[in-house]
Amino acid sequence: MSAQVFIKLFAIFAVVAIGWGVARSGKLGGGDPARVLSGAAFYIFVPALLFRTSARIEFERLDIRILLAFFAPTLAVLGLVYLFLRLRGSAASGEPAAPSVRAITASFGNAVQVGIPLAAALYGEAGLALHITLVSLHSLTLLTVLTTLVELDLARDRRRGDGGGPRLLHTLATTVRNTVIHPVILPVLAGLAWNASGLPIPGFADEILVTLGQAVVPLCLVLIGVSLAHYGVRGAVRGALVLSLLKLIVQPLMVLAFAHFVLGLGGVPLAIVVMMAALPVGSNALIFAQRYQTLPGEVSTAIVVSTLAFVATAPLWIAVLQAIG
């Protein structure tokens, strides 16, 4: 692994440690500072980033095979984790959002802080261009699917709690409304609508969006540290280890098998989709967990564990890709 990637990983751990240290010192006041920070991220900074990203996607340049090679297996991992936990009754055990929270943790990678320098360092400008193509639809695709699933589960839970509650059509209407009028989905839909209009984002508006969007990465990293300090890791390590294993080993293995043996990808395109899948858990998983107040300690621990383990698993996947050629 290149020095540039190691420096990025070190910076990630340093910012997380700063968040943890400040939270432990009590300087953030009483209450739940992690929830306050996640609220700011979810309602101010993340929507700005998602709107700008969606509004600037160049659909005519997207390579369908590359997208299919990454997103089909990734959505399969997401769906399998979700369905397994639903069948086990996790959604009916007092935490209806748990299957979706664990599903995003097992499938959503750190495509920006770690992924961009990794792609640039290992595969140059051509590889970086392919990686950015995947990044442009990463949050849009996974967060849209997961938001729909979690809102359905919450609607079912409310209906069960009301002793049958409203009729099915009313439940579906409520779910659709909560899914669309949502701090993740609404800015994406608005960005896509702006994209379809063909109009450029006005300079002053774009500058505001850029300024807000730049805060997402450092804020999310600080939030991981604050969450670790506030919630701790007791009882979360086992779940975090399982989720890290799914993210670092199972997901890239499925992407490799599908991309190479089904779609016939090789070379740099294959390497990019596999390494994208092999990235550690991304901080958006914690934002999602905080949004639904479900398993934030487990998700925070999974982010740290998977990022530490990535130092060992990344060279493994690079060696596998070199062997395949």
State the pLDDT confidence band at 200, using cuts at 50, 70 and 90: very high
| pLDDT one-digit tens code per residue, 29-72 | 777 787 888 788 878 887 888 788 778 877 777 789 999 999 99
pLDDT at residue 91 tops 60: no
pLDDT of residue 173: 63
| pLDDT one-digit tens code per residue, 129-165 | 788 788 878 887 898 888 888 888 888 777 776 655 5
- The domain of 27 spans 3-324
| pLDDT one-digit tens code per residue, 205-219 | 999 999 998 887 788
Query: Pick from 38, 7, 2: which is nearest to 225 by CA?
Result: 38
- The CATH number for 172's domain is 1.20.1530.20
Q: Provide mean pLDDT across the span 169-186.
A: 64
Of residues 154 and 121, more confidence is placed in 154
Q: What total of structural domains would you count in the chain?
A: 1
Provide the b/e sequence for 2-26 (b: ≥16 CB within 10 Å).
eeebeebbeebeebbeebbebbeee
